[in-house]
Amino acid sequence: MARPLSEEKREAILAAAAELIATSGTGASTASIAKAAGVAEGTLFTYFATKDDLLNQLFLEIETNLAQTMMAAYPAKGGSRERIRHLWDRLIAWGAANPTWRKVLRQLKVSGRITAESRRRSNALFRESRELVEQSMAGHVDPERMSFYIDTVLIGLADMTIDAMAASPKKQHEHLKQAGFDLYWKGTAV
Amino acid sequence: MARPLSEEKREAILAAAAELIATSGTGASTASIAKAAGVAEGTLFTYFATKDDLLNQLFLEIETNLAQTMMAAYPAKGGSRERIRHLWDRLIAWGAANPTWRKVLRQLKVSGRITAESRRRSNALFRESRELVEQSMAGHVDPERMSFYIDTVLIGLADMTIDAMAASPKKQHEHLKQAGFDLYWKGTAV
DNA sequence: TTAAAATGAGCATGTACTCACTCAACAAAG
DNA sequence: CTTTGTTGAGTGAGTACATGCTCATTTTAA
């Protein structure tokens, strides 16, 4: 190999894409992404075969980060309520700390450009933490509703809570976080 | 006036736009929309000044329909739980009956092409039914949480419930609808 | 040396929107 | 009840520009 690819450039392209997609949607042009990343447009295509490829890799990059956060944050000790509450706090903190990534995820999910394979890989990333959540929730929630309450509602409700927080003064943030968790915990009780 | 505009054509264009935006996103071209509506591309621009104008009118058309459904469905009698439950059933029924519109709404909301004025008008459409919901929920929910639980969570949770239903066999639909409502009602209790 | 990364002008295709023109629907004149 | 004139809806080829992607050429690290 005469000259290696630069991980630095790859990440600069992904970061630039995230920034532009968050504000302009997936219609952000490869020209604008390359320019923002400080590389020529041709370079973008040596790191990513197609624009769709870039989009899918960006999707997985963000999902990997979120999955790792959930995994790393999961407490080994404490009652079920405390464990879910801790996870809830970490989810909210992740969203509040990564507003760009959250916008990107929303854009990519409705874009129709994320492949089935990417979604499959994403699911795999969350499998481990999902199982821990299920263990913690066992007994608290009707087993027949477990899948709905974990796979659909948990992250969806966290998302809505972060949105509401973003649209409110800081003073209310803790209050909204509590309101979101109470809704989830009391609502899922058997 | 030499020749009146045809309401029929206007609606054909809006319907075609909805169908194409639901599947291809707001990137659907004016050429493809006009073709699907059975009119020339030029005609589209005599009914809608710009593509953004078409998008905004489509948005308000759908929001008006949803707001009317909520208003018309609101029961005058019954306890608070029964009233909210009835509204919940109508919301779910609306979403299940209008999958295309739901997809369009999602696309338009993340598109960044809906003006502040359109959102303001949309809010106005829901004002009356929102007040009825607030009256029904009074006493059941902490007043400080009222806005979050009504403005953000109610429709958001209904949306998630419809998504889960769409991804499940019909046999489970009633079960999911109940699970979603229980979560909302028990979760919002003071 | 040399192979591969990096470049950016160039290419085919698509885009929202225009415009000169046609013709259908109305109103006034006969 | 015709005839005729006027207006503006309807048309689709045309326009200027943007798009994803290529490739001949240059630069750079092994």
The pLDDT value recorded for residue A61 is: 98
Q: What is the pLDDT of residue B43?
A: 96
Residues A184-188: what's their mean pLDDT? 98
Q: Point out the residue nearest to D28 (C-alpha to C1').
A: A3
- Closest-lying nucleotide for B51 based on CA to C1': C16
- Is the pLDDT confidence value at A73 over 90? no
| Any strand C atom closer than 7 Å to A48 CB | no
Task: Confirm whether any atom of chain D, the nucleic acid strand, is less than 7 Å from CB of B112.
Answer: no
Domain span holding position A3:
1-48
Clarify whether residues A151 and A165 are in a common domain. yes
Residues A113 and A125 in one domain: yes
Instruction: Assign A74 a pLDDT band (cuts: 50, 70, 90).
Output: confident
Do B95 and B41 share a structural domain? Answer: no
Cβ burial, residue A35 (10 Å; 0-12/13-18/19+)? middle
Residues A36 and A89 in one domain: no
Q: Name the closest nucleotide to B6, judged by C1' and CA.
A: D9
For A154-168, what is the mean pLDDT?
98
Number of domains forming the structure of chain B:
2
Nearest residue of chain A to residue B185 (CA atoms): A187
C8: residue with closest CA to C1'? A40
Same domain, yes or no: A110 and A148:
yes
Q: In chain A, which residues have their Cβ closer than 8 Å to the Cβ of B25?
A: 110-112
Check whether residue B152 and residue B80 sit in a common domain: yes
Are A64 and A11 in a shared domain?
no
Same domain, A38 and A57: no
- Would you state the structure tokens that stand for residue A146, as one six-digit string? 């477990």
pLDDT of residue B1: 56
Question: What CATH number is given to the structural domain containing A134?
Answer: 1.10.357.10
Q: Which residues of chain B have pLDDT under 70?
A: 1
Could you tell me which of B57, B53, B14, B4 has the C-alpha nearest to residue B37? B14
CA distance B82 to B34: 45
Within an 8 Å CB–CB cutoff, is residue B169 touching chain A? Answer: no
Is B122 found in the same domain as B33?
no
**Do B111 and A25 count as a contact with CB atoms less than 8 A apart?**
yes
Return the biggest CA–CA distance within chain B.
Answer: 63
Same domain, A40 and A95: no
- Within this chain, do residues B83 and B158 fall inside the same structural domain, yes or no? yes
Residue A128 confidence (pLDDT) above 80: yes
- Check A160 against B156: CB less than 8 A apart: yes
pLDDT of B150 reads 98
**CA closest to C1 C1', residue:** A2
Burial (Cβ within 10 Å: 0-12, 13-18, ≥19) of residue A190: exposed
* Distance (Å) from the alpha carbon of A146 to chain B's nearest alpha carbon: 10
The domain that holds A42 is classified in CATH as 1.10.10.60
Check whether A12 has a pLDDT greater than 90.
Answer: yes
Q: For A138, list phi and psi in degrees, rounded to 5.
A: -55, 135
Write out the DSSP string of B99-135.
Answer: HHHHHHHHHHHHHT-S-HHHHHHHHHHHHHHHHHHHH
Q: What is the pLDDT of residue B3?
A: 79
Residue A155 is predicted with a pLDDT of 97
Predicted confidence at residue A1, as pLDDT, reads 57
Nucleotides of D under 7 A from a protein CB: 6-14, 18-24, 28-30
Tens of pLDDT along A46-70? Answer: 999 999 999 999 999 999 999 999 9
> Does B95 lie in the same domain as B158?
yes
Residue B73: what pLDDT?
A: 82
Check if residue A111 sits with its Cβ under 7 angstroms from strand D: no
Over pLDDT 70: what percentage of chain A? 99
Rounded Cα distance between A98 and A119, Å, is 21
